[in-house]
């Protein structure tokens, strides 16, 4: 029987009602006590690493989770991480860069309702996560509402419904139906994982609105090492407002600028319109293409934790990791 480590980080799944709203209070052992059927799937051990509302999750916590997996990697066949849904996609992306090529499953799950509620989705999600962790499902994934989503492709697209997560610009890896795992895609892996232990948290994100000027971009670039700009449509920056000069100035100062799109599906293509073309051809801004914003944030933190050389940053950014970027100009 497979040995699985359950790593608790908090979230709605572990929450109870308090005078000021839901707050994570249950331990991993308490969660597991609700699921006697898990003993038929695997042998599960528990670690209570954190107990956070996932709004409070930070890159330092991602490093803690990766370190916990690293310390226990040889002792277990797979890992289940309980996590709040609000930032789960960011954590899944970050772990995809911090633990690369894992032949063992690293599964994140959570719930929209606490495990103690009658109407909860917790028990199904957590049981499904154990099924996936005990199966041949390598790498980092999110298991939620019967779907298995690649860690670099997940996004929370519904705030209350049980079908909280979608797979962006990539098919789902598998589905679960009545406890049966139906695989579509097997994620690539190595013979052993490659672990990383550094992130640069100074990565900022700016969402454009019509009529915006360069002031917010200047503010963020002065205080950070990289800025991701969520533009409109296939990508570009307004010709008014001084954005072009802003980007040129800060890139000459050694900052990294990435253009992506606010549109969830089908990605960016800066070469289509004049407002995007010269940003790439003249300034050399990086383009996210089909990557999710969550993956871009985590990947830049991982890259800048390794190097500040502009050519190496670009090479690493466009090198696919866990199928995070596939289109590259298509």
Compute φ and ψ for 17, nearest 5 degrees: -75, 130
Residue 272 near residue 234 (C-beta atoms within 8 A) = yes
Residue 310 belongs to what H/E stretch? helix 310-317
pTM score of the predicted model: 0.96
Residue 114 near residue 30 (C-beta atoms within 8 A) = no
Which residues of the chain register pLDDT less than 50?
A: 330
How confident is the model over 13-42, as pLDDT tens digits? 999 888 788 878 789 999 999 999 999 999
Domains and CATH numbers, the chain: 3-195 (3.40.50.1170), 203-317 (3.40.50.40)
Report d(CA 139, CA 131) in Å as an integer: 15
How confident is the model over 125-174, as pLDDT tens digits? 999 999 999 998 999 999 999 999 999 999 999 999 999 999 999 999 99
Catalytically annotated residues: 12
Residue 28 belongs to what H/E stretch? helix 28-33
């Amino acid at each position: 029987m497979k040995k699985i480590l359950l790593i608790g980080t908090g979230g709605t799944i572990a929450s109870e009602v308090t005078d000021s709203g839901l707050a994570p209070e249950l331990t991993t052992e308490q969660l597991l006590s609700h699921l006697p059927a898990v003993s038929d799937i695997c042998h599960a051990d528990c670690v209570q690493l954190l107990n956070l509302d996932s709004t409070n999750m930070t890159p330092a916590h991602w490093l803690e989770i990766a370190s916990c997996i690293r310390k226990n990697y040889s002792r277990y066949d797979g890992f289940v991480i309980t996590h709040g849904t609000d930032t789960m996609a960011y954590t899944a992306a970050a772990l995809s860069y911090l633990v690369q090529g894992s032949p063992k499953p690293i599964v994140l799950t959570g719930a929209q309702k606490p495990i103690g509620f009658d109407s909860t989705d917790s028990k199904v999600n957590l049981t499904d996560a154990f099924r996936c962790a005990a199966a041949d499902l390598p790498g980092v994934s999110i298991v939620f509402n019967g779907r298995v989503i690649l860690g670099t492709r997940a996004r929370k697209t519904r705030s209350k419904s049980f079908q909280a997560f979608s797979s962006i610009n990539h098919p789902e890896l598998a589905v679960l139906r009545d406890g049966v795992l139906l695989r579509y895609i097997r994620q690539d892996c190595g013979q052993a994982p490659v672990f990383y232990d550094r992130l640069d948290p100074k990565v900022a994100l700016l969402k454009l609105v019509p009529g915006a000027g360069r002031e917010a971009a200047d503010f963020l670039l002065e205080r950070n090492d990289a800025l991701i700009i969520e533009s409109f449509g296939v990508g570009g920056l307004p010709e008014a407002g001084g954005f072009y000069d802003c980007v040129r100035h800060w890139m000459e100062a050694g900052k990294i600028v990435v253009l992506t799109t606010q549109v969830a599906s089908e990605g960016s293509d800066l070469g289509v319109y004049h407002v995007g073309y010269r940003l790439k051809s003249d300034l050399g801004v990086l383009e996210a293409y089909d990557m999710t914003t969550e993956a871009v944030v985590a990947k830049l933190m991982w890259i800048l934790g390794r190097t500040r050389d502009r050519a190496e940053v670009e090479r690493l950014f466009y090198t696919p990791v866990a199928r995070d970027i596939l289109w590259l100009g298509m």
